[in-house]
Structure 1
């Protein structure tokens, strides 16, 4: 190899001045600092070397089915012992058989240990928020459209000084009419939805069963209350109309619950399982 070519293997830094370095690294322009920096740079990308003699030897021994079953049972027992908060099916069924409808209603309107609302109240709040938001958007758009048509009809013979003035007055009228219509309808739909959701959820929680009946009752009672200012006849007609609407809507909602496995029984089962786990964790922490 010519003397002007430098070998690219890096020697230890403490041997840069040895005579052997000049034999294997015949690079006259290379300095100890060059090898030191290059050695540090390459050391960042070095991977550990593992020799075949260092690998553990795996011995494949035949395992009988009895030994495998025993090992699986021991592993499961260890997991159960480690996880003290594991709730069995028997404990859940015992709790469900011992509770009453009043207990379920009380738990529905009571916050948990972390200060959060019950899943039923959370569902009611989220549903009201979505219903009111959609109602405001739809009714404000319709009200603004009708307001613009009303403004154009009432001011056909009005002479405005400029086109900008006419456009500005029309836009103001559209915005005000839309906001007014949106707030009025959101208020009405919000009251109806609140009474309907609270009644239907309370009946389902008390019975611990999902059906069409709670929606029919809730809609009938809500319709009667909203028509109370019209007297007994108005309340009766409102109750009948509300019950028919509840029958149609309740059938759709109940069918959707069955398809998604989100009935009251299933949701209450999951909530009780979580409730018992939290109670066991609290008792374990207190001990």
Structure 2
């Protein structure tokens, strides 16, 4: 699944990220759009039904029932309304919706929240892996030193070695950060803009991610790294699209559910205004 010219931190991070990619869309479907039907979706509210009963044991008092006579009102959100709203929505509108921020400066859309959580965890994991790798490299370089170099090294401060390890880890982490951002955000942004789940967004994003990892290498290995990333992304994207479609969480289905939920909320607000609740 990963090209030959990738180091161990990149391979481990690739496995961690790719194993969670398909859960990004599934999360929003299972939490936000649960219980949605397929044909007609009714928004129902009681129009001020006020049923009261009075009962008294005093002489001459009888139980009486007062009803205002209003019946429940129903406004349906149909598939035609949803499809019309989707046709009016552009790719830029979906991108703005995807990266919209709330009052707390957090992403509003659940998909983007999940992607961001995976991104932060992957960056932290990548930094730790690069620290271990840099420490191992520094340890091997000390073992391979000549006696004269070892004597000169003894005079150096141990703090210098620690700083060198952190610097090397930071360099590797920057590449892995670009790798993870391309793999997560770019793939989902392409899918949201096109409103379609396909292998292309995974292939393109993975190729660019591997280009970030292989940046600075000679042309031959760099090209092989990018091509390997494109092929791995296409294979992984094919499996991801199949899994997303099987659980009803493809980009098209998520957009359909999101628009339907927004229309239902609008209908609910209209009913509340008519009832004098707001």
Task: Report the TM-score, using the length of structure 1 for normalisation.
Answer: 0.53
CA distance in 1, matches of 2:252, 2:178: 28
Residue 98 of structure 2 is matched in structure 1 by: 108
1:136 corresponds to 2:127: yes
Cα 1:134–1:86 change in 2 (3 A) is farther
1:198 corresponds to 2:166: no
CA displacement at 1:198 relative to structure 2? 3.0
Aligned residue runs from structure 1 range 1-287, under 5 A? 80-82=44-46, 88-90=77-79, 91-111=81-101, 116-117=106-107, 118-154=109-145, 175-176=162-163, 178-222=165-209, 239-283=226-270
Contact map agreement 2:134 2:168 (CA 8 A) in 1: yes
CA displacement at 1:145 relative to structure 2? 2.4
Q: Which structure's residues are more often helix, by fraction?
A: 1
Cα 1:94–1:181 change in 2 (3 A) is same
Unaligned runs of 5+ in 2: 1-41, 47-71
Contact map agreement 1:200 1:214 (CA 8 A) in 2: yes
Deviations 1:102-132, CA, capped at 9 Å, x for gaps: 3322322333688652334323322321221
Deviations 1:252-275, CA, capped at 9 Å, x for gaps: 433443454432223223322333
CA distance in 1, matches of 2:217, 2:143: 36
Contact map agreement 1:145 1:174 (CA 8 A) in 2: no
CA distance in 2, matches of 1:250, 1:97: 26
Contact map agreement 1:210 1:263 (CA 8 A) in 2: yes
Contact map agreement 2:45 2:271 (CA 8 A) in 1: no
Task: Report the TM-score, using the length of structure 2 for normalisation.
Answer: 0.55
Cα 1:138–1:152 change in 2 (3 A) is same
Choose between structure 1 and 2 for higher RCO, CA contacts under 8 A separated by at least 6 residues. Answer: 2
Cα 1:181–1:98 change in 2 (3 A) is same
Matched length: 203
| Pair member with larger Rg | 1
Cα 1:154–1:219 change in 2 (3 A) is same
Contact map agreement 1:144 1:176 (CA 8 A) in 2: no
Q: Which structure's residues are more often strand, by fraction?
A: 2
